[in-house]
Amino acid sequence: MRVAVLCGGNSAEREVSLRSGEAVYRALQERGWEAVKIDVGPDIALRLSEVKPDVVFLALHGKGGEDGSIQGLLEVMGLPYTGPGILASALAMNKIATKRYLRSASLPTPDFITLDKEETHDEWLQRVKEFRPFPVVVKAPTQGSSLGMNIVRREEELLPALAEAFRYDPVVLVEEFIEGVEVTAAVLGNRKPVVLPLIEIVADKGVYDYEAKYTPGKSQHIIPPRLPEPWQEKVKELALATYRWLDCRGFSRIDFMVDHKGNPYILEVNTIPGLTEVSLFPDAARAAGISFGELVERLIYLALGREE
């Protein structure tokens, strides 16, 4: 069986995607699969027609990879692929759409407002002040890897944070800041999804940003989280509910903040989580006794409709 590993692309997460793709490609080779690694460009349909894969492994982070675009192409070409489908991918890629969809199911997510690039500085400041006191979290809604994300603790930090977020998107998300413990839930499966061991994330400088995510030693992944068992069970239940509500399949990673009273809040859903040497999903799999190679194989079988 021939597997095409798609990675790279032209999103802001290109370098991370290349690392994920290389890790998947090596794992497949080591386990005896016929694998072809493709750096995705405008000729991707032609490349896939030439390679003629039996299944496509998506290690393509960011726009063009996680937003339903490549999934749509693969559907048209009749090629099975790893991870969620078009709708789940498109919804989860946009944090604003995700939060609105979660609210429609009464699933807890931090309160938020949106700001438009066409508004004035004074209008931005006024709307944020009316929203809630600082700190708040500013996010570029269609970026992953914490690109365009900043915690704004003082008024003078707001405009620089918005300027950075507006580099990526014309509409920006301003979110309620939840004080507590950051936890991530890796979910694996199609019709019978399971939550792998939860991970508590501790960044060395207090913010789990791009540098903390992809630089060895810049963050700690604590398994199990230092939370009471009933609090962890709440997170797992919400992770499964979110996974099913968005109609995810294959795998996804759902990020939470758990406040000091044990209330979990859904931050976002990652439909193609990182698969690098410092990524969270492989760590959760290892804690469940699943090696990286086994994880990659299981994702391929799930793409082909095999639950086991």
**Residues annotated catalytic, as ranges:** 13, 145, 279
Phi-psi region of 213 (alpha: psi -120 to 50; beta: other; left: phi over 0): alpha
Q: What is the amino acid identity at position 112? A: F
| Sheet order of strands, 112-116 included | 112-116, 171-176, 136-139, 150-152
Three-state secondary structure readout of 246-269: CCCCCEEEEEEEEECCCCEEEEEE
255 labelled as ligand-binding? yes
Kindly list the distances between the CA atom of residue 163 and the CA atoms of 131, 142, 147, 157, in Å, as whole numbers in the listed order.
Answer: 19, 15, 12, 10
122 labelled as ligand-binding? no
268 labelled as ligand-binding? yes
Q: Are strands 171-176 and 136-139 parallel, antiparallel or unpaired?
A: antiparallel
CA 275 – CA 278 distance, rounded (Å) = 8
CA 173 – CA 162 distance, rounded (Å) = 9
CA 278 – CA 269 distance, rounded (Å) = 19
Which has the closest alpha carbon to 191: 236, 242, 248?
A: 248
Question: Hey, CA dihedral for 34, 37, 40, 46, is it positive or negative?
Answer: negative
Q: Binding site membership for Mg(2+): which residues?
A: 255, 268, 270
Q: Binding site membership: which residues?
A: 255, 268, 270
